[in-house]
């Protein structure tokens, strides 16, 4: 049961992204377009939290000061060596010590 809760939380990442875009830009249309685009990308895969990731993410959360969801997002970007695309300047500032950060407004 406990792992199912983690799994559902991690799989909520697309919703987190869409909601953050709406909150930060106030642009319903942009949030909707991003959501539709995310759903259309067949290459997107959701990452489960396993014991290795949980242990690693606990360490990152404790040392970085990131929120829980931000910790997971940064750790996964680092694990797969991919850039982190974000509107969140605070997360980006911390994340840039670990991964390449791209501001979504510049994409």
Q: Where do the domains of the chain lie, and which CATH numbers do they carry?
A: 2-106 (3.40.50)
Q: What is the DSSP letter of 84?
A: E
For residue range 50-85, what is the model confidence (pLDDT) as tens digits? 888 888 889 899 999 999 889 988 998 898 888 888
Both tokens assigned to 9:
């939380």
**43, 46, 50, 55 alpha-carbon torsion, rounded to 10°:** 90
For residues 33 and 100, the answer to whether their CB atoms sit within 8 Å is: no
C-alpha closest to that of 6 among 44, 40, 52? 52
Q: At CB < 8 A and 24+ separation, what contacts does 77-82 make?
A: 79/53
Q: What is the pLDDT of residue 4?
A: 46
Higher-confidence residue of 19 and 49: namely 19
Q: What is the pLDDT of residue 29?
A: 96
The model's confidence at residue 11, banded by pLDDT at 50, 70 and 90, is low
Burial of 57 (0-12, 13-18, 19+ CB in 10 A): buried
Residues 13-41, mean pLDDT to the nearest whole number: 89
Residues β-bridged to residue 32: none
């Amino acid at each position: 049961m406990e792992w199912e809760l983690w799994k559902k939380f991690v799989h909520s990442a697309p919703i987190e992204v869409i909601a953050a875009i709406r909150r930060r830009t106030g642009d319903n249309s942009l949030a909707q377009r991003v959501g539709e685009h995310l759903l259309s990308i067949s290459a997107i895969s959701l990452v489960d939290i396993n014991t290795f990731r949980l242990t690693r993410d606990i360490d990152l959360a404790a040392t970085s000061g990131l929120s829980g969801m931000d910790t997971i997002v940064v750790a996964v970007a680092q694990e797969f060596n991919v850039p982190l695309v974000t509107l969140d300047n605070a997360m980006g500032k911390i994340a840039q010590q670990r991964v390449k950060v791209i501001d979504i407004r510049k994409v």
